[in-house]
Amino acid sequence: MAREEFRVSLAEKLPKRLRIAVLVSGKGSQLTAILSLIDKELIAGEIVAVISDTRESGGVRVASDRGIKTLICAPASFAHLDAFGKRLSNILDEINPDVVVLDNFASPLELQHGRNRHVVERAEALLEIAAMD
């Protein structure tokens, strides 16, 4: 599917106010960027959850400072990568976000687009979606 076709089909399926989940593993630069876009009203949405692979990530601190629900899902806690991916997908199903921003958190995983969930790599993709309104 061409990039433009993906953007159009994605925009048709998303609500006007996005429920966003952000997966973080580092200092939280993508999370900070998304929060800034929301604060500046460039994206109509809210971050409903932050999922980190470690309690020590900077992204966890950023989320905590903003009162955002934070969950830890560490791959080392699972015997197999498939089990980790399944647990992560189950968490996302429970949260039910419209969009999940990966920021390389789950790069070895193939997270499935849920019935109501789209997966993007970076915060910039949210701007593209917002620009389509």
- Domain regions of the chain by residue span: 3-131
SS3 state of residue 118: strand
pLDDT tens digits, 76-94: 888 888 888 888 888 998 9
CA dihedral over 119, 87, 107, 103, signed as positive or negative: positive
Residue 36: pLDDT over 80: yes
Instruction: Name the least confident of 21-30, 106-115, 121-130.
Output: 106-115
In which band, very low, low, confident or very high, does the pLDDT at 3 lie, cut at 50, 70 and 90? very low
Q: How many CA atoms, within 13 angstroms, populate the side-chain half-sphere of residue 59?
A: 28
Task: Tell me which residue of 6, 64, 73 sits closest to 35, measured CA to CA.
Answer: 64
Mean pLDDT, the chain, as a whole number?
A: 79
| Topology annotation, domain 3-131 | Rossmann fold (3.40.50)
